[in-house]
Structure 1
Amino acid sequence: MFNRTTLVILVVALAAGLGLLASQRFFAAPAPAGPAMETVRLFPQPRTLPDFSLRQSDGTQLVPGELKGHWTLVFLGFTYCPDVCPTTLAELAQAQKQWEALPEPTRPRVLFVSVDPQRDDPDRIGEYAHAFHRDTLAATADVPALEHFARSLSMVFAKVPAAEGAPPDSYTIDHSATIAVLDPQGRMAGIIQPPLQPKAIAADMAALTQASFK
């Protein structure tokens, strides 16, 4: 019989597999005309995200309208993550440094969304995200709101309980490592899949920005 941890991992794996199938359907048609991409995979048609409300590190609400006007890269994670999250944010920070010369009003943005609200309060996620790059946005919410937001991006996450005998708060979280690409209308326009290539990400985001704000 499966134990609880194994069951959670299987559920995440199944959901991730379904997300992959969905993404394959998105990419079955040719990508829209535009600048050639090195690592960003654009959907044939961007899709509008359902309403959501997250809590930013400065205490303000992050709602769909707040994501308009910029290309935005969205990454789900948590501050206690031992490897994938810090590595991803460090690589995204390398890309951010390369597009710093772009005008601030249209400069691409990175949004880190913590899926661990039990341990990650707004102050903590802000300090964590800004340690990688000062411009990184950080937000979280309660679990139902986070699940709703993750599903809208075709992503998943699940809490994996602590090992028997370990402190209860030593749990971890399995989550998607894919990065969602949102266009200046706040729609999901594509994805970036690991392994990440910071120079290619920077080049793609600069090209998309220049094409959108000529």
Structure 2
Amino acid sequence: MFNRTFGYILAAALAAGLGLLAASHFFGRDAGTGAPAFQAVTLLPQTRELPPFNLRQSDGTPLVPGELAGHWTLAFLGFTFCPDVCPMTLAQLAQAQKQWEALPEATRPRVLFVSVDPERDSPAKAGEYAHAFHPDTLAATADVPALEKFATSLGFVFMKVPGKNIGQNPDDYSVDHSANIALLDPQGRLAGLIRPPFDPQAIAADLLRLHAAAEPAP
């Protein structure tokens, strides 16, 4: 079902890494002072429109590009059987989310957890898992082709990795996936990336700064 070769994964990951390196060179530092412009976020040289996508949210409603409008969004790939990276990342993001809970719900930054394991994670299960870390976290999944399209648009990759007992137990597998976090702007465009290790305070500071800059002047 996850029909992706190692060569494709490596090539896509390398391309994403080179793009991030270029962004870091051009936008990682303030042009006037040379000091870091953001603590955690690396902005891309230019925002990038995402191609149409259609995921399924935990409440059963579709997640389409328009649903992300109006908010800065942090999108992260994972799966509920993930033993370490996913729960750690969601816990760190939950710490950041607490720092902007006082902002208006209509514009406060959001976190989007996308399960890339639709065989075991229904939309409802993905939502239950994500909401255990923070109730504001959005959760979604889809069939593999739709997930691949969405992941590729963010410069991310994922691949099913069979376990030793896959023949006796079809659920004996893991899913390798990109560990970066994608930053989407209030127009739903890819605007930047956050690379591990993650610092919740730095992420919160950057998102609060972005939110303040996007707010209209009184």
Structure-2-length-normalised TM-score: 0.89
Please tell me the root mean square deviation across aligned C-alpha atoms, in Å: 2.0
* 140-149 or 26-35: bigger deviation: 26-35
Paired AA for residue 200 in structure 1 = A
Deviation for aligned residue 1:53: 0.5
1:49-106 superposed Cα distances (whole Å, 9 cap, x missing partner): 0110000000000000110100000000000000000000000000001111111111
1:3 equivalent in structure 2 = none
Name the residue aligned to 1:45.
46
Closer, same or farther: CA 86–9 of 1 in aligned 2, 3 Å:
farther
Query: Secondary structure of 1:73's match?
Result: strand
Q: Equivalent residue for 2:88?
A: 87
Indicate conservation of the 8 Å contact 1:8/1:159, yes or no.
no
Matches of 1:30 and 1:58, distance apart in 2? 38
Q: Which residue of 2 aligns with 1:147?
A: 148
The question of 1:103 aligning with 2:100 is answered: no
Are the equivalent residues in 2 in contact too, given 1:162–1:168 (CA < 8 A)?
A: no
Greater fraction helix:
1
Deviation at residue 30 of structure 1 after TM alignment: 3.5
1:178 aligns with 2:175: no
Q: Which residue of the other structure, out of 11, 15, 37, is the alignment partner of 1:18?
A: 15
What is the CA deviation profile of residues 31-61 of structure 1, one whole-angstrom value per residue up to 9, with x for unaligned ones? 6989931111111211110110000000000
* Partner SS for 2:19: helix
* Runs of 4 or more consecutive aligned structure 1 residues displaced over 4 Å after TM superposition: 7-11, 31-35
Partner Cα separation in structure 2 for residue 27 and residue 64 of structure 1: 26
SS at match of 1:76: strand
Separation in 2 of the partners of 1:44 and 1:18? 15
1:36 aligns to 2:37 (yes or no): yes
| Secondary structure, aligned partner of 2:160 | strand
Q: Is residue 75 of structure 2 the alignment partner of residue 74 of structure 1?
A: yes
More displaced 10-residue stretch of structure 1: 17-26 or 79-88: 17-26
1:197 pairs, out of 193, 199, 204, with 199
User: Cα offset for 1:11?
Assistant: 4.8
8 A Cα contact 1:31 1:44, kept in partner: no
Q: What is the CA-CA distance between 1:22 and the residue it aligns to?
A: 2.6
In 1, distance between residues paired with 2:40 and 2:28? Answer: 13
Look up the match of 1:112.
113
Deviates more, 1:186-195 or 1:155-164: 155-164
Identical positions, percent: 63
Which ranges of structure 2 fall in alignment gaps of 5 or more residues?
none
Write the distance in 1 (CA, Å) between the matches of 2:52 and 2:106: 24
How many matched pairs? 208
Q: Deviation of residue 29 (structure 1)?
A: 2.9
1:112 alignment partner AA:
F
Q: 1:130 and 2:131 equivalent?
A: yes
Q: Is the 8 A contact 1:162 1:171 kept in 2?
A: yes
Question: Quick check: 1:161 aligned with 2:162?
Answer: yes
Q: Secondary structure at the match of 2:176?
A: strand
- What secondary structure is seen at the aligned counterpart in 2 of 1:202? helix
- Give how far 1:9 is off: 5.2
